[in-house]
Amino acid sequence: MSATLALAIKDLRLLSRDVMSLFFTFLFPVVYAVFFGLVFKDVGREIGGRIEVALVDEDGSTASRELVAELVQSREVRVRGPRGDESTDEHHGELLSTRDEAATALRGGKVVAVIIIPAGFADAEANRFGGHVPVLEMVADPSRKAEAGMLRGVLFKMMGQRLQSAFADPKRMRAQIGAARASLSDQPDRAGDMGPMLLGFYSALDLFLGQLEARQSAATATQPGAASSAAFRGFDPVEIHTTELSRHRDGPTSAFAVSFPQGIIWGVLGCAAGFSISLVVERRQGTLMRLRLAPITLAHVLAGKALACFTTIVAVGVIMLLFARYGFGVIPRSPGLIPLALLSVAIGFSGIMMLLAVVGKTEQSAGGMSWAILTIMAMLGGGMIPVFFMPGWMQSVSSISPVKWAVLAFEGTLWRGFTLEQMLLPCGILTAIGVVSFIVGCGVFARTTTRS
C-alpha cells in the first residue's frame, strides 16, 4: 500500500509542475461552466417572441369565440392547448383548456400565463351603455412579470380594437343601445333622476346611428371599405383581474446548475486523458522499466496511477462544486449524495483512463485516440449539449456514454433532487464501467508490457 501511495504522490507532483496540465485540469472546467452558464442564463426567459398562454373560455358566446380567434391568430401570443398543441387558424376549440388544465400547465412552466374569458363577457360587452365593462381574468407566474405586463398590453390593445370596431359599426352600436335602453326600462330606479334623460339620449342616438347606418350602406355599395373607423374613447376597453400562481420549480434553479456538471465532466475527461497519456509516456521513455527494477510489481504501478487519477478527479469535483455554491449560488438539492456522485465518477473514469492507456503505443497516437473517444462520449452524453435538450432518439442513444451517467449523477445532487434509490442507477453503472475497464486495461497493459 505504501508503494502505491508513493507512486500516486509522484504522479500528483508531476501534475503540479505542469502549468498547462493544471490549467486544463482545474481552471478550464471553471471557464467552461461559467461561460455556458452566462450564455444560457436567460434561455426560456426571452420576452421578444410570442408569449405562450393557456386559454379558458367559460362564456361560450359568439363574442368570446371571436376573441379566442383573435388571440389564436395574434402575432404576440401563442396559445397552447391542454395537449401542448400550438396556435392554428382552425379548430380553435381544441386549444381551449379548463381552469384545472390551464393551472397545471402554468405550474409546470409550459405557459407564462392563463387567460380566462369568464361567464357574462358577451353580455357586458354588449351592454357598455348600461355601465358594464367586460372583464377578463389573467393568472400569471409571479417570476415572469415582464411577460405578464406585455400580455396585459396585448389584451388592452385587442379589446380597444373591438371597442373601436363596435363604434365604427352602427348596426352593432344600435344593438348595444337597445340592450341598454331595455335594461334601463326594466330598472328605472337604477339611474335615478337621470333615467328619463338617458332614455331620451338613447332614442336620439339610436335615430342618429340609424341614419349613419343607411349612409354607410349606400357608401359601401359604391365604394367598399369606406366605413368610418374612428374610435370612441369614452369607455375603458376591458377590466383585467390578475392573480398569481407560482410554478413548480422541478427544473434547474439556474443555468449554472446545468453548466457546472458539464464543466466538472470536462475536468474529469482531462484527468482521464492526461493520466492515460502519462502512462504511455512512462513506458516509452523507460520510466516504467526502471520502476519495475524496484521491489514493486506492475500492479503497484498501475494502482498508483489509478489512485492519482482518482484523487485528481475528486479534487476537480470538489473545487467546481465549491465554485458553483459560493460563486454562483447553486444550492444542491441533495447535498448528502454529493460524495456518492464524486466517488462513482472518480471510479468510473479512473477505470476508463486505464483502458485508454492501451489504445496507442506512442504518446501521439494515445493522445489522439483518447481525446477522440472522450469527445464522442461527451457529445453523446451531454457534455456539450444537455441531454434534455436533445431529440428523443438521441437521448436513448446517449445511454451508451459514461458521460451521461456522470452528468446525471451530478445533476441529481444539484437540481434534480435525487433520492438514494434514484442515485443507485447512475452511480452503479459508473462503478461497474470503472471496475470492468480497469481490469481489462490492466490485463492488456500487462501483456503488452511483458512482450515489449
Average pLDDT over every residue of 50-59? 90
**Backbone CA torsion sign across 328, 333, 336, 341:** negative
Round to whole Å and give the CA distance between 399 and 376: 13
Most confident listed range (13-22, 70-79, 289-298): 70-79
pLDDT at 48 exceeding the cut of 60: no
Q: How many CB atoms lie within 10 A of CB 39?
A: 11
- At 259-284, the pLDDT tens digits run 999 999 999 999 999 999 998 888 88
Grid cell at residue 234: 369614452
pLDDT at 229 exceeding the cut of 60: no
pLDDT at 234: 41
- Of the listed ranges 34-43, 112-121, 412-421, the least confidently predicted one is 34-43
Q: Tell me the CA distances in angstroms from 438 to 303, 356, 389, one per residue in order.
A: 10, 10, 32
DSSP 286: T
Average pLDDT over every residue of 68-80? 89
User: Is residue 112 within 8 Å of 141, Cβ to Cβ?
Assistant: yes
Q: How many CB atoms lie within 10 A of CB 222?
A: 7
H or E stretch at 240:
strand 239-244
Scored b (16 or more CB within 10 A) or e, 107-124 reads bebebbbbbbbbeebbeb
Q: How confident is the model at residue 46 (pLDDT cuts 50, 70, 90)?
A: very low
pLDDT at 205: 65
pLDDT at 313: 97
Sequence-separated (6 or more) residues with CB below 8 Å from residue 76 = 50, 51, 150, 154
On the CB side of 410, CA atoms within 13 Å amount to 31
pLDDT at 249 exceeding the cut of 50: yes
Q: How confident is the model at residue 300 (pLDDT cuts 50, 70, 90)?
A: confident
Residue that wins the pLDDT comparison between 4 and 84: 4
- At 371-412, the pLDDT tens digits run 999 999 999 999 888 887 788 788 889 999 999 999 999 999
Residue that wins the pLDDT comparison between 206 and 364: 364
- Of the listed ranges 78-87, 189-198, 223-232, 353-362, the least confidently predicted one is 223-232
Round to whole Å and give the CA distance between 404 and 441: 22
User: Is residue 349 within 8 Å of 406, Cβ to Cβ?
Assistant: yes
Q: How confident is the model at residue 188 (pLDDT cuts 50, 70, 90)?
A: low
Domains and CATH numbers, the chain: 2-41+254-451 (no CATH), 51-169+227-244 (3.40.1710.10)
pLDDT at 226: 43
- What's the whole-number average pLDDT of the chain? 81
> Is residue 1 exposed (0-12), middle (13-18) or buried (19+ Cβ within 10 Å)?
exposed
pLDDT at 143 exceeding the cut of 50: yes
Q: Where are the beta strands (DSSP E) in 81-181?
A: 113-117, 135-140
pLDDT at 93: 58
Q: How many CB atoms lie within 10 A of CB 55?
A: 23
pLDDT at 356: 92
Round to whole Å and give the CA distance between 360 and 33: 31
Cross-strand pairs, 4: none
pLDDT at 81 exceeding the cut of 50: yes
